[in-house]
Amino acid sequence: MTAAGVGISVIRYMFFIATGSLFGFFLGVVILKNIPAAIIIAVSAFLLPEQHLAGKIAQKREKIISQLAPAVRIFYAEYNDTPQVERALLITGDRISAPLGPILYLSGRQLAVGRDPDEVFADLAKKLDFYHGRMFAQLLRQAYDDSAVAPLFSRLATKIASYQQLSKKNRSNLAYQGIVARLLNVLVLPVFLAMQYIIPETASFLIEHPMGRIVVTICFASILVGIILDRMLSEVQL
């Protein structure tokens, strides 16, 4: 919850998820009279909020990645001027906006007050939990003891900038597929309910006939598949 930046307690979050899942199961049993579909709807209602939180975390991580290259350049310039990791981190954190700036500033403050560098940079690596972020934390740890590694920060900034260009191109190529997947997820239930009002004869087929029940189950199973695909696309984009 904290990583996603959502201002809601875990208890309330779990209550809303449980309520949504129970409502989905009730919908499947009472209205659709389809136990397999009811289970699928309940599971989907449980996973959709998780998918939303995962999206929030992915957006935050993407923002941090976009900030990392300029942050490394600022750090490199300051560290070259005065080879003190804590000072360079404080200045970098002050110049870079959230979410990355406060993370780096906190690491600098912890070093300044005498906290164990191994613990500080291990915590930083956890917060920057992606390849180039962990590499930056490792370089910082080395730079704390040996200023000779300073040129590696310039190389790292170049690599991050190249990665960002490729990542941006990849996101633009996958954006359409992600929109279609989310749209299909949203439309399944409204289309199903609308069909019963537009063509009333379909209700008896979809609810009472075995083949109709199978069709309904497959339709709602597509929501589950859509959630999984959307999550996979999000991971690929990063």
Q: What six digits make up the tokens of 194?
A: 């609308």
Task: Note the pLDDT of residue 84.
Answer: 95
Per-residue pLDDT at 62: 85
Quick one: pLDDT at residue 202? 74
Question: What pLDDT, on a 0 to 100 scale, did the predictor assign at position 114?
Answer: 95
Query: Do residues 94 and 102 lie in contact, with contact meaning Cβ atoms separated by under 8 Å?
Result: no
Range(s) of the domain holding residue 23: 10-237
Alpha-carbon gap, residue 234 to 57, rounded angstroms: 10
Residue 3 lies in a domain: no
> What per-residue confidence (pLDDT) applies to 5?
54
Decide if 60 is inside a domain.
Answer: yes
Contact yes or no for 125/104 (Cβ under 8 A): no
Domain count, the chain: 1
User: For the CA atoms of the chain, what is the radius of gyration?
Assistant: 25
Which is it for the CA torsion 68, 74, 75, 77, positive or negative?
A: positive
* pLDDT score at 135: 96
Is residue 1 situated within a structural domain? no
Quick check: is 2 in a domain?
no
| Residues of the chain under the 50 pLDDT cut | 237
Which of 223, 213, 238, 137 minimizes the C-alpha distance to 187? 223
pLDDT for residue 97: 95
Q: Quick one: three-class SS letters along the chain?
A: CCCCCCCCCHHHHHHHHHHHHHHHHHHHHHHCCCHHHHHHHHHHHHHHHHHHHHHHHHHHHHHHHHHHHHHHHHHHHHHHHCCCHHHHHHHHHHHCCCCHHHHHHHHHHHHHCCCCHHHHHHHHHHHCCCHHHHHHHHHHHHHHHCHHHCHHHHHHHHHHHHHHHHHHHHHHHHHHHHHHHHHHHHHHHHHHHHHHHHCCHHHHHHHHCHHHHHHHHHHHHHHHHHHHHHHHHHHHHC
Q: Is residue 121 part of a domain?
A: yes
Query: Does 40 reside within a domain?
Result: yes
In a domain, 87, yes or no: yes
In a domain, 4, yes or no: no
